[in-house]
Amino acid sequence: MQRYSIIFLSLVLSFSVMSGAKAETSGATTTTTKTTPTVSDTDITTRKKAADDALTAYKAAKTAEKLAKLQALGDKLIDHRIASLNQFISKLSTRKGLTDASTAALKKSAQDAIDGLTTLKAKIDADTTVEQAKTDVQSIFTTFRIYAVLQPKLHLLTVIDQGQAALDKLNAISPRIQKAIDATSASGSDVTALSAAFADYTVQLTDAKKQLDAAKLEVDKMTASNAEGSKTAATAAREYLKKFRADLVAARSDINTLRDALKTLAPASTSTTPSTGTGAGAANSATNSTSSGNKTTP
């Protein structure tokens, strides 16, 4: 009996010790749970700030990279255009049918564009924000429309100069036509039809000159820094050149009439009759030039 009492007492003591240890452990856990949030909040705040700072630094690095790439793009676009403009200038000297005055005007337009692009390149390289650089790079396409302006201007000026050359030839034979008509009249022939054809010929040449001058004024308005205005001017110039072409066609018809009538009425005076074939050829040449110019000009 005493033996069982000792065993029971040992079990009670063991249970008490285990319960005390468990209670201490539970108490310690409770204490830790209460103090952790304060430490964690501070740590989270510190880490959040560090993360924000890191993100800001990351964004700054990405922006700088974008800016550098955008500036490099702008520089390359400008370099390409300047090279094209220099090539454009060098080829003007070998362009057939272009007068010295037109060549000089085109060279000035090209050089003005080069100067403007050079200034823009310096501005792009000095930009400090991506937005500034974007705006300046976009202006390469909106402000300096060299491909949309200078090439059409070259074609139009060539057509105008070739047309002027043809018109000069047609005007040059007018005195000879008049002389042939006078000689035919002196021989007693009726020159009423001849005089009417020659009068119309003169009217057509006068109007042709008017249309050609108007076209030239429009082409002079075309600049690389004013794309929309240049487009409007080019359209107007083409319309004037169409009227010029119609005048030359009418003048050519008058020449044919005069030639045939002079051969019929005054065969003996054909030696004094102007070489109307030359005049017709000049009219044909100018007609073909204006037609070609309208086809090739974008």
Quote the CA–CA distance of 298 and 168 in Å, as a whole number.
28
- Between 79 and 27, residue with greater pLDDT: 79
pLDDT tens by residue, 267-285:
544 444 444 444 444 444 4
Check if the beta carbon of residue 244 is closer than 8 Å to that of residue 290: yes
pLDDT digits over 98-150, tens only? Answer: 888 888 888 888 898 899 999 999 999 999 998 999 999 999 888 888 778 88
Q: Which two tokens stand for residue 81?
A: 């255009």
State the Cα angle at 225 between 223 and 228, rounded to 5°: 80
The pLDDT assigned to 41 comes to 63
- Distances in whole angstroms, Cα of residue 164 to Cα of each of 19, 135, 289: 119, 43, 11
CA–CA separation, 278 and 226 (whole Å): 41
Per-domain residue ranges of the chain: 42-142, 146-296
DSSP code of 269? G
Q: How confident is the model at residue 289 (pLDDT cuts 50, 70, 90)?
A: very low
- Which residues 6+ apart lie within 8 Å of 166 measured at CB? 248, 282, 283, 285, 286, 289
Task: Compute the average pLDDT of residues 242-256.
Answer: 94
CB atoms within 10 A of CB 127: 18
Q: What percent of the chain has pLDDT over 70?
A: 71
CB 284 within 8 A of CB 203: no
Predicted TM-score of the model (pTM): 0.62
**Cα–Cα nearest to 196, from 210, 211, 177:** 177
Placement of tokens 């002027």 in the chain: 164
CATH number of 146-296: 1.20.140
Phi, psi of 161 (to 5 degrees): -65, -40
pLDDT-derived band at 261, boundaries 50, 70, 90: confident
Compute the residue count for the chain.
Answer: 298
d(CA 275, CA 290): 24
